[in-house]
Structure 1
Amino acid sequence: MQSGPIQPVPKAPVEPKQRPVLFEVFGEIWSVQARLGQGGSASVFQVSSGRGSSTAAVKEFQAQPRGGDYAFHKERRVLEDIQGHKNIVTLYGVFTQHSALGPATRCLLLELLDVSVSSLLLRTTATNSLRLQQGHSLWLVQHCARDVLEALSSLHREGYVHADLKPRNVLWSADDQCFKLIDFGLSFKEGNQDVKYIQTDGYRAPEAELQNSLALAGVELDSHCTAAVDLWSLAIILLELYSGNRLKDTVHSPQWQEDSGAVIDQMFSSKTETHTAIPVSHLRDLIKSMLVKSPQQRCSADKALLSPFFSVPFAPHIEELMLLPSPVLRLLNLIEDKHLHNEEEYEDILEDMKEECQKYGSVVSLLIPKENPGKGQVFVEYSSSSDAKEAQKLLTGRTFDGRFVVATFYPLRAYRRGYLYQTLQ
């Protein structure tokens, strides 16, 4: 589940079923730190254990007047069936929340995740107007595409359709350094669709649009949607990440309805890109293969993972490394070149940086390259992403020897492999 800036729990009296202050989870009291989201059937909260050493997300389902708790049982069943995949949110357990002031509610205790793709789209365009034209880097698009496709491949092999893939339902995991799928409230077994209205407007496949229209008109359905609807949704998400624009109006436009391929070609040709044309064309072809109108001819998740787009290494934008938490921090604007080649000064700087960084958490390793790539940058690996997030918040804007510190996160796997990106500006 998504995390974000922690909001204080209001002290004014509130209705417990609307904003609980405490949850009793398996005999332990967990306090609410923030409300992360609210939907038609459930609310999601960030919670911490009584000892304060653990954090998680609680999805509390509204009590059903007639009983049955259908939404709770459905999502629980799906998550229990597909547990264990690194790109799908982890279900820790289920419990019942009792209240003296209202009916008992059913809850899921879930892994706490970080920033959503929706937030990445909003925050990047808000902090840099140029992103409206440029969108995100091919590194992030590739990372998101591969992670979600691997999740869908596993989900589809188990016979499930997610049926509500959108930017809000794809979240970054700081601990696992990958994107994960959440919210399986509309999911169903292929061939046994028990939900009439699926997918969110703007990410809805043509066959789902037709099905929804027929259902609204009271027409009995004689066919069901398939896993192909998920590929359509993912393609729109990737196109939004690449272009930097929300595409709800675009996919409803006459031009898109007449020839979506031409619209996609125009979007790619109008975007200035620092990479060569070949990997960009691989991404364009991958997206087109997932936006074929006929679900029978649309690319599957397994086939999409074979795209040559995934064989090319890319570098991230610096803004992306500020938004995607990791156990590794990269500190910029700290060290002058002259200090790197004086061994005594270099050792003193290493010791000073270790001492400073250990104030914010347990430091596993610290690296200051003397040559490019990464020359003069300070890479600090903390024992946990939570330590790194605290350090990033407190170090950014600090001065060190008269220099203002810029602290970004850095991909853990790249750091451990010694791969130091020359990030895109």
Structure 2
Amino acid sequence: MACCSSETSGAVLCSDVSVAMAASPGSVDQSMKPVLFEIFGEIWNVQARLGQGVSASVYRVSSGRASSAAVKEFQVDSQGGDYGYHKERSVLEDIQGHKNIVTLYGVFTNHSCQGVSTRCLLLELLDVSVSELLVRASSQGHSMWIIQHCARDVLEALSFLHREGYVHADLKPRNVLWSADDECFKLIDFGLSYKEGNQDVKYIQTDGYRAPEAELQNSLAQAGLEGDASCTSAVDLWSLGIILLEMFSGIKLKDTVRSQEWKDNNSAIIDNIFASKIVVCPAIPVYHLRDLIKSMLHNDPKHRSTAEKALTSPFFSIPFAPHIDDLVMLPTPVLRLLNIIDDSHLYNDEEYEDIVEDMKEECQKYGAVVSLLIPKENPGKGQVFVEYANAGDSKEAQRLLTGRTFDGKFVVATFYPLSAYKRGYLYQTVQ
């Protein structure tokens, strides 16, 4: 779908007309979920509400052409204006084109059956957030592969954003999402972003991910006072440092970063967190990650690493293999099926061809199959790799094939990096 910034009018049909008619003029019942949006002359069905905040709600929508996207619908602010919408739209239109920043497809005005007009952004639909990944990882923490992937992608986005003169100002796990089709993490939610040196938002960042200088600025603002200077792009590096530390440790650090001990010597706390993991992680990569995180968490923003400098860390030169759990959590267009084929079937050409045809026939039930590979030798021996035309089809196949039986065996279905598959790189995943 091409990016479009022109604004059009649209209409939405409410899920309960009687409730809508009962609402007072000018009010919006945020508990109601719209059924349809008319966007650029096309009807889009609302499939689910993905999130709801004070100023906006986000929905997953799908058109008749099977395209999927996200709609961010802004509520009219307390002054009856559209400041939040115009602010985020302006930033997004200014920074489009980077692979690690969510794509803005277009903007439109929605006229509800309540007689209320709301401004909307039509955005790229992304997948799992880092917040969800942290929940799934429990207290074990994430693999070095996924931490490295996330760190590099977010730093690439921040490096670009900062070169363009912007501060994100609300980096947190919920605002870093995985793109299944582009196979990378992307930044979303630029509602608090501002041009460095021209901070027009008093309260920035979220508790637990707020840099010390932003904490001070927020406290002064609450007291009706103003600080000497606006916050710089260094606040984004602080937030990323906390995110990476949480991904490594598997621990939410909100209470930790509020403690006096953290404020006095966060370096010692970081050392303790990493020392507890040395037993299960190779020492050298762990130390590189520790030093990278420390470089982002200096209390003095002037001593903090920049995004561009952080990308030169030796941590990014280490080739990690994904854990099998990573490939279950992060969708891609390639599906990998395990526990299906015995070695005996691989060396009988007739049986092998029959299995290939059977697998292709089965997998085509869930979407268009671009290619299918069953290696006869390691790496990947006996595994089935299925490349679908898009990640939506591979996700549906993974959902429906997991737990199925094939020749009396339970199927294990994971995803697999498309880039590695295209290169013929079938690495052994860590169990």
Common topology (TM > 0.5) = yes
Instruction: Report the secondary structure of 2:116's partner residue.
Output: strand
1:238-261: CA deviation from partner (whole Å, max 9, x where unpaired): 111111111111111232122111
1:363-411: CA deviation from partner (whole Å, max 9, x where unpaired): 1111112222212111111111111011111111111100110101111
Offset, 1:52: 4.4
Offset, 1:288: 0.3
Q: Which residue matches 2:55?
A: 41
- Please point out which of 64, 76, 93 is paired with 2:77: 64
Q: Which residue matches 1:119?
A: 132
The answer to whether structure 1 residue 23 and structure 2 residue 32 are counterparts is: no
Q: What's the TM-score once normalised by structure 2's chain length?
A: 0.92
Which sections of structure 1, spanning at least 5 residues, go unmatched? 1-8, 126-131
Offset, 1:105: 0.5
Instruction: Report the secondary structure of 1:209's partner residue.
Output: helix
Check conservation: 1:46, 1:57, Cα contact below 8 A.
yes
Distance 1:394 1:241 in 2: 29
Q: Which residue matches 2:176?
A: 170
- Please point out which of 245, 248, 251 is paired with 1:239: 245
Distance 2:335 2:389 in 1: 11
Check conservation: 2:15, 2:34, Cα contact below 8 A.
no
Offset, 1:315: 1.2
Matched ranges for 1:343-382 at <5 A = 343-382=349-388
Which sections of structure 2, spanning at least 5 residues, go unmatched? 1-13, 21-27
C-alpha spacing 1:398/1:207, structure 2 compared with 1 (3 Å): same
Check conservation: 1:326, 1:409, Cα contact below 8 A.
yes
Matched ranges for 1:331-410 at <5 A = 331-410=337-416
Distance 1:12 1:273 in 2: 60
Check conservation: 1:17, 1:102, Cα contact below 8 A.
no
1:94-121: CA deviation from partner (whole Å, max 9, x where unpaired): 1000124132100000000000000011
C-alpha spacing 1:335/1:10, structure 2 compared with 1 (3 Å): farther
Matched ranges for 1:140-159 at <5 A = 140-159=146-165
Check conservation: 2:100, 2:156, Cα contact below 8 A.
yes
Q: Which residue matches 2:145?
A: 139
Q: Which residue matches 1:187?
A: 193
The answer to whether structure 1 residue 75 and structure 2 residue 88 are counterparts is: yes
1:329-351: CA deviation from partner (whole Å, max 9, x where unpaired): 01011011222222222222112
Q: Which residue matches 1:101?
A: 114
Q: Which residue matches 1:282?
A: 288
Instruction: Report the secondary structure of 1:34's partner residue.
Output: strand
Distance 1:255 1:337 in 2: 57
Q: Which residue matches 2:8?
A: none
Counterpart of 2:110 in structure 1: which amino acid? Answer: Q
Distance 2:332 2:280 in 1: 26
Offset, 1:25: 0.8
Instruction: Report the secondary structure of 1:58's partner residue.
Output: strand
* Percent of aligned pairs with the same amino acid: 75
- Show structure 1 runs of 4+ deviating over 4 A: 9-17, 272-275
Q: Which residue matches 2:10?
A: none
Distance 1:163 1:293 in 2: 17
Distance 2:292 2:116 in 1: 49
Distance 1:43 1:13 in 2: 22
Distance 1:140 1:100 in 2: 45
Q: Which residue matches 1:266?
A: 272
Offset, 1:360: 1.2
1:23-57: CA deviation from partner (whole Å, max 9, x where unpaired): 111122211110000111100011111x1421110
Q: Which residue matches 2:206?
A: 200
Q: Which residue matches 2:97?
A: 84
C-alpha spacing 1:401/1:88, structure 2 compared with 1 (3 Å): same
Check conservation: 2:55, 2:77, Cα contact below 8 A.
no
Counterpart of 2:54 in structure 1: which amino acid? Answer: G
